[in-house]
Amino acid sequence: MNFSGGVNFDLDVLTSDSVTAATLSSLVKMGVLYKKMSASSVEKAALEDVSVNSDSSKLQMHFKADDKQFQSLIHTSLFAAVSR
Protein backbone atom coordinates (compact mmCIF):
# COMPACT_ATOMS: atom_id res chain seq x y z
CA MET A 1 0.00 0.00 0.00
CA ASN A 2 1.35 3.39 -0.99
CA PHE A 3 0.01 6.67 0.47
CA SER A 4 2.05 9.16 -1.56
CA GLY A 5 -0.33 11.10 -3.78
CA GLY A 6 -3.45 9.31 -2.56
CA VAL A 7 -3.88 5.61 -1.91
CA ASN A 8 -2.48 2.90 -4.15
CA PHE A 9 -3.25 -0.66 -3.02
CA ASP A 10 -1.99 -3.71 -4.90
CA LEU A 11 -2.64 -7.26 -3.71
CA ASP A 12 -1.21 -10.34 -5.41
CA VAL A 13 -2.27 -13.76 -4.16
CA LEU A 14 -0.37 -16.78 -5.40
CA THR A 15 -2.75 -19.73 -5.83
CA SER A 16 -2.11 -23.38 -6.57
CA ASP A 17 -3.13 -23.15 -10.24
CA SER A 18 -4.68 -20.93 -12.91
CA VAL A 19 -8.16 -22.40 -12.42
CA THR A 20 -8.15 -21.42 -8.75
CA ALA A 21 -6.91 -17.92 -9.59
CA ALA A 22 -9.61 -17.47 -12.25
CA THR A 23 -12.31 -18.79 -9.91
CA LEU A 24 -11.27 -16.47 -7.09
CA SER A 25 -11.09 -13.57 -9.52
CA SER A 26 -14.64 -14.25 -10.68
CA LEU A 27 -15.92 -14.52 -7.10
CA VAL A 28 -14.28 -11.25 -6.04
CA LYS A 29 -15.62 -9.48 -9.15
CA MET A 30 -19.13 -10.75 -8.33
CA GLY A 31 -18.72 -9.52 -4.75
CA VAL A 32 -17.74 -6.06 -5.99
CA LEU A 33 -20.76 -5.97 -8.33
CA TYR A 34 -23.07 -7.11 -5.52
CA LYS A 35 -21.73 -4.43 -3.17
CA LYS A 36 -22.23 -1.76 -5.86
CA MET A 37 -25.97 -2.52 -5.90
CA SER A 38 -26.48 -1.20 -2.36
CA ALA A 39 -23.58 1.24 -2.10
CA SER A 40 -23.73 4.99 -1.64
CA SER A 41 -22.48 7.22 -4.44
CA VAL A 42 -19.07 7.62 -2.77
CA GLU A 43 -18.78 3.85 -2.29
CA LYS A 44 -19.82 3.19 -5.90
CA ALA A 45 -17.12 5.56 -7.13
CA ALA A 46 -14.55 3.75 -4.99
CA LEU A 47 -15.70 0.33 -6.20
CA GLU A 48 -15.34 1.54 -9.79
CA ASP A 49 -11.65 2.04 -9.03
CA VAL A 50 -11.19 -1.60 -7.96
CA SER A 51 -9.76 -3.94 -10.58
CA VAL A 52 -9.53 -7.70 -10.16
CA ASN A 53 -7.70 -10.00 -12.58
CA SER A 54 -6.00 -13.34 -12.72
CA ASP A 55 -2.70 -13.98 -14.42
CA SER A 56 -1.60 -17.60 -14.55
CA SER A 57 -1.77 -18.76 -10.92
CA LYS A 58 -1.88 -15.24 -9.47
CA LEU A 59 -4.98 -13.33 -8.33
CA GLN A 60 -4.37 -9.58 -8.67
CA MET A 61 -6.42 -6.85 -7.03
CA HIS A 62 -5.76 -3.13 -7.45
CA PHE A 63 -7.34 -0.01 -5.94
CA LYS A 64 -6.29 3.59 -6.45
CA ALA A 65 -7.84 6.79 -5.08
CA ASP A 66 -6.64 10.35 -4.76
CA ASP A 67 -6.55 12.11 -1.37
CA LYS A 68 -10.01 13.68 -1.77
CA GLN A 69 -11.66 10.41 -2.83
CA PHE A 70 -10.05 8.51 0.03
CA GLN A 71 -11.05 11.14 2.59
CA SER A 72 -14.68 10.83 1.46
CA LEU A 73 -14.45 7.04 1.60
CA ILE A 74 -13.19 6.99 5.20
CA HIS A 75 -16.59 8.14 6.48
CA THR A 76 -18.62 5.40 4.75
CA SER A 77 -19.99 2.15 6.15
CA LEU A 78 -18.08 0.22 3.47
CA PHE A 79 -14.76 1.49 4.84
CA ALA A 80 -15.86 0.72 8.40
CA ALA A 81 -16.70 -2.87 7.42
CA VAL A 82 -13.41 -3.39 5.57
CA SER A 83 -11.25 -1.88 8.31
CA ARG A 84 -12.59 -4.09 11.13
Per-residue pLDDT tens digits of the chain, which is 84 residues long: 666 778 889 999 999 999 999 999 999 999 999 999 998 888 898 899 999 999 999 999 999 988 888 888 888 887 777 766
Residue 25: C-alpha distances to residues 15, 31, 53 (Å): 11, 10, 6
Q: Are 46 and 40 in contact (CB under 8 A)?
A: no
- Residue 78's nearest CA partner among 60, 63, 66 is 63
Amino acid letter, 32: V
